[in-house]
Structure 1
Amino acid sequence: MDLAKERADFLAGRSFTAWRWLGGRFAPGAEGAVFRVYAPGARAVGLIAGWNGWAPAPMARDADGFWTLTDPAAEEGGLYKYRILGADGRTVDRADPFALCTELRPGCASRLIRLSPTRAAAGWRPAPGRGYDRPMNIYELHAGSWRRRADGGWLFYGELAEPLIPYLQRHGFTHVELLPLAEHPFDGSWGYQVSGYFSATSRYGDPRGLQYLIDELHRADIGVLMDFVPVHFVADDFGLHRFDGTPLYEYDHPDIAQSAWGSCNFDYYKPVVRSFLQSAADLWLSFYHCDGLRMDAVSNALYWQGDPSRGVNAGGVEFLRGLNSGLHRRHPGAVLTAEDSSTFLKVTAPVEYGGLGFDYKWDMGWMHDTLDFFAAPPEVRGRLRGQLAFSMQYFSSELYLLPLSHDEVVHGKKTILDKLPGGYEEKFAQCRALFAYMFCHPGKKLSFMGNELGQFREWDEDRELDWNLLEYPMHAAFDRCFAALGQLYLEHPALWDGEYDPKNWTALNTEDPEVFAFSRTGGGERLLFALNLSGALKQEAGVAWRGSAPLRELLNTDDERFGGGGRVNGPLIPAYGGVVLQLAPFAAAVFAKSGPSAGRAAPAEAGPDARS
């Protein structure tokens, strides 16, 4: 390692590898560990640790503001902090910003560990491409509340692998997206208010356990996406806030230093902040071998305080472009996704074409339109069907991902199932149709854990999912429907091959305004999707279908296996340019031309032609 170059890159905002040398690191071939911390405004810095009786060992400062100490007594697993006399005259004990491990909260000391490659590192290869023209069905998971031990305690990282992997496979998920696992002091923040950007949270074990979990997921051909928070950090004194007695990481001006969440906003105009965040992002891809990152609250980086009326934050825009282009250079197959609710243009266009360089953007408009539509009384939906078709007018403008995420099932919003009107069976019928619509709509899929169970209880990070619901016939049947939709999605390339080409999906005219239909084309097949928006049985004769071959029903949400009434379709023979469909109340159905399944292996990676 050329340490002089590494330091220069860090100070210039170019570094993606500062995690390899900053912080407490064991020295190769030497006794003890080297501790390096950047605190240019500090008057004095001392290392305090369990192995030195928490008495400060003075660290030496260089001209650039790096403080260094080699401690031969440093112990594997030992706890330590930096005691910093800041420029403001305050002495504060700080956690190591670059620590790889931290003690379990409420403690906040850093833990010294060795950098160890994963056991599968020699055979691991990045995913072939970023998912274009391939199925991508993502299970969003909070590691602490998916399942728990009998005593209510958390499962360790390694313990998650055994039940999680077959569950993901049965439901047709291709990826798992983990809510932030960077260290955070408050459980109720779900990991979104970070204190240790390089430290995998100790709630569920140590870094080696997380490495094992990711290795096992890869062995099962399941990709791993990590939720990453590049906008703000906790204001706790032990963290980055006024780290050296100055606003080293946050904005200097009080009007923009604090976020709407009470946390501190990163100042993207400072080169060391860019190096810090770029290196934190690279850690998850290089050290843990994650397959991609989901960037949280991107609009808060694009606009001052996330408010378009306050103007574009040019520093935030340039930071995101540099982050994404740099990560793609280092990790060509990494999937970078923006959780962005704004109308900022070219989020998924390449940086060289003036874009932000993300691979996908969450389609928050689709999410709101869909949930609002299905929450409306059935008797008015025929007049609102344009709300469902609206996404077809803009969908090809970005590479979108359809999210029904954790944010939609908390804080009084109700669960997906409970948002829907009607009685018990009507809610389930509509929820089956909603997810059928989601799986057949163009765009990658993301669903939060528990959606597949048909939960009535909002998500609570302090308890596991309501697994006992599967003992009830309707919930078990709903889970079967969800799994069948996931498998249907994987098996039929019309649902993902060329999905961002507007020529490959078409809204279809129907005689009944309460029947919504469209077709999908790709991979040499064409599918028809039809949805009954009402609570009445429909005999729809106006769905146009090109050609004369009979249609075969691939899936009907009213199937008895899924908790429906069994009103499904046999072979459908086209007549007078159309077919006659039977659609049960609130039912959705998917049809293909009769014959063997058109499902096939995913094709070779295709480029994002529509992004420039």
Structure 2
Amino acid sequence: MMFMSGQMEHYLFHRGEYRQAYEYFGAHPNRSSTIFRIWAPAAKSVAVVGDFNNWNAREEDYCQKITNEGIWEVEIKKVKKGAIYKFQIETSWGQKILKADPYAFYSELRPQTASVVNGIPKFRWGDKKWLNNREIGYAKPINIYEVHLSSWKKKEDGTYYNYREIAELLVEYMLEMNYTHIEIMPITEYPFDGSWGYQATGYYSVTSRYGTPEDFMYFVNYFHKNNLGVILDWVPGHFCKDAHGLYRFDGSACYEYEDQNLGENEWGTANFNVSRNEVRSFLVSNLYFWIKEFHIDGVRMDAISNMIYHKDGVSENRASIEFLQYLNQSLHENHPDIMLVAEDSSAWPLVTKYQADGGLGFDFKWNMGWMNDTLKYIEQDPFFRRSHHGKLTFSFMYAFSENFILPLSHDEIVHGKNAILNKMPGYYEDKLAHVKNLYSYQMAHPGKKLNFMGNEFVQGLEWRYYEQLEWQLLKDNKGSKDIQNYVKALNTLYLEEKALWHDGQNAFEWIEHENIDENMLIFLRKDPDTDDFIIAVFNFSGKDQDKYPVGVNLEGEYECILDSNEKRFGGSYQGRKRNYKTIKSAWHNREQYIEVKIAKNSTIFLKHKKGNEED
């Protein structure tokens, strides 16, 4: 089939298969003019208004309808980069409404709502080495630091750091703390700070709160040059209903469902109608845009359960399921090194399995069940934990059914749920010990890791999006500094020990999981390629154990390589690293055992000392 200029774009767009729609739609400036294109199928007329025509459409500002399916186009002379504009859309009943450009590459700073002529952003990249070596990393360390840019740190006068400025601060901190990836809460343009970016209006427009698109390119480039990955929060399921946005874009249900039972949700936003091909092209192209133009390493897709189920939470939304399968398969075919993560709170099976097998095709899934059960357990006083032991061990029943990320995310420290520290029982010193146990359990448990900013030094208050983190605690509060030091040590352990990177069933082995009365838990993590292993021993009780027996596979000597009760982490133990020799007697179905010393509410990590096996 032969196509004239533009016909291929129209054909693919209306089939839902256009992966670079942003290269055609939106505002594209050249030396002397700008070409504007938009999809508005129910519009009676479309014009472009802005600062170049005093927001009053002239005859030459009206678009021509170039396809029956509703694509409009106009080239306006002397409109250059930096011009401010909106589309003036006349509805079928004659009302004229002003809408921001869905494909705008830049937008005015809120509370202003107009789009800015920018063109596809350009940048001189220096991350070729990173991109050439990038891979998803199922058997690699992935330890994610989740960040909300405006509340991580602010300038002394309370204003935001630019993307370039905060990149350098974040990279320095993350390298010091030994994280591997940053996950940024949504930065697609959004009007209301209190939505945290999850209710967007400009899907192709990086928010102007922190600078220009080119500034954000610098951000990503700087991270890559320091061997750190960048993951974006992305919201493919729903969008906000602000008047200038996508909602009722041409007076009709253009991007959303006409049926409000399908189109409206509990957050007061509108659900994307992904059964409509043009909406599919919009979203697929958007994901390609962030990957191709901004070199993003992965996306965490928000609220997947809201997409795959209807309002009743029972009946499946087949259109959304098929869309996600198509989206993920397309990305994997063209960008096999990009990490696709589902935030799914449902029990939908096969989220991280191949589409051919009925799966959704994601690479990883947030393990919300692990997060909820673990927090419910750790919040109990040790005296009562024996009745909740199953909450700690149940996750292992399904731990290998998907490729999981274990999140301790922003959702758990807002809306009255308490900061991590204040979820813990007991006095202040007890709370600190419980936090270290929680983080140790997360690090040892199969699955990649994610922790929200501020958790690493136990910020005392819930997260507040309008204020920076309580950094002063690191100067004024020894407990916060102790926890930060322990998180740094845990992150270092994770980077150094390959046994903690492999998350399949062949990399895990129970040693003890039924000691309910003493709240003890012991398991082994191993590297299947080398048989190297680490034993994690957890004491979730309020009782010290002086000679606790641990069955081991190999005889010889075992070294305690990390103890959460060490003095440098605010604990009581300040002696040398302890070594334990095996005792030739069966225990835990093993031929020998060691007797370990472990304080109440603490964790120790043990490693076999090679070359010391007995003859």
Q: Same fold (TM over 0.5)?
A: yes
- What residue is the counterpart of 1:385 in the other structure? 389
Amino acid at match of 1:32: S
Q: Structure 1: how far apart are the matches of 2:134 and 2:405?
A: 19
Q: What's the RMSD between the two structures over aligned residues?
A: 1.7
Residues 364-389 of structure 1: CA distance to partner in whole angstroms, max 9, x if unpaired?
00001100000011102234323211
**Looking at both structures, which has the greater relative contact order when contacts are Cα pairs under 8 Å and sequence separation is at least 6?**
1
Q: Structure 2: how far apart are the matches of 1:151 and 1:198?
A: 30
- What residue is the counterpart of 1:584 in the other structure? 599
* Corresponding residue SS for 2:257: coil
- What residue is the counterpart of 1:467 in the other structure? 471
**Alpha carbons of 1:509 and 1:123: their partners in 2 closer, same or farther (altered >3 Å)?**
closer
CA contact (8 A) 1:515 1:540 kept: no
CA contact (8 A) 1:195 1:240 kept: yes
- What residue is the counterpart of 1:43 in the other structure? 44
Amino acid at match of 1:447: N
Superposed, 1:157-556 pairs within 5 Å as 157-305=163-311, 307-309=312-314, 311-471=315-475, 472-497=477-502, 499-502=503-506, 504-508=508-512, 513-522=518-527, 523-556=530-563
Identity of paired residues, percent? 37
Q: Structure 2: how far apart are the matches of 1:260 and 1:184?
A: 19
Amino acid at match of 2:23: R
Given candidates 12, 22, 25, the residue that maps to 1:22 is 25
**Alpha carbons of 1:585 and 1:13: their partners in 2 closer, same or farther (altered >3 Å)?**
same
CA contact (8 A) 1:401 1:443 kept: yes
**Alpha carbons of 1:526 and 1:123: their partners in 2 closer, same or farther (altered >3 Å)?**
closer
CA contact (8 A) 2:29 2:35 kept: yes
Q: Structure 2: how far apart are the matches of 1:128 and 1:243?
A: 39
Residues 200-252 of structure 1: CA distance to partner in whole angstroms, max 9, x if unpaired?
00001110110000000000010000000011111111111111111011111
- What residue is the counterpart of 2:609 in the other structure? 594
Q: Structure 2: how far apart are the matches of 1:567 and 1:561?
A: 8
Q: Structure 2: how far apart are the matches of 1:322 and 1:453?
A: 41
* Corresponding residue SS for 2:323: helix
Q: CA deviation at 1:64?
A: 2.9
Amino acid at match of 2:157: D
- What residue is the counterpart of 2:56 in the other structure? 55
Matched, 1:9 2:12: yes
**Alpha carbons of 1:126 and 1:207: their partners in 2 closer, same or farther (altered >3 Å)?**
farther
* Corresponding residue SS for 1:145: helix
CA contact (8 A) 1:171 1:486 kept: yes
Q: Structure 1: how far apart are the matches of 2:559 and 2:9?
A: 61
Gaps of 5+ in 1: 597-612
Q: Structure 2: how far apart are the matches of 1:122 and 1:166?
A: 18
- What residue is the counterpart of 1:120 in the other structure? 125
* Corresponding residue SS for 2:356: helix
Q: Structure 2: how far apart are the matches of 1:107 and 1:219?
A: 35
* Corresponding residue SS for 1:81: strand
What TM-score do the two structures reach when normalised by structure 2?
0.94
CA contact (8 A) 1:241 1:247 kept: yes
CA contact (8 A) 2:499 2:507 kept: no
* Corresponding residue SS for 1:119: coil
Q: Structure 2: how far apart are the matches of 1:372 and 1:381?
A: 10
- What residue is the counterpart of 1:96 in the other structure? 101
Q: Structure 1: how far apart are the matches of 2:27 and 2:460?
A: 46
**Alpha carbons of 1:388 and 1:528: their partners in 2 closer, same or farther (altered >3 Å)?**
same
Q: Which moved more, 1:376-385 or 1:189-198?
A: 376-385
Given candidates 113, 119, 130, the residue that maps to 1:108 is 113
Amino acid at match of 1:14: E
Amino acid at match of 1:591: L
* Corresponding residue SS for 1:446: strand
* Corresponding residue SS for 1:397: coil
Q: CA deviation at 1:503?
A: 5.2
Residues 14-72 of structure 1: CA distance to partner in whole angstroms, max 9, x if unpaired?
11110111000124xx5221100111110111110112222212111123311111112
Count of paired positions: 592
Amino acid at match of 2:444: C
Q: Structure 1: how far apart are the matches of 2:559 and 2:19?
A: 52
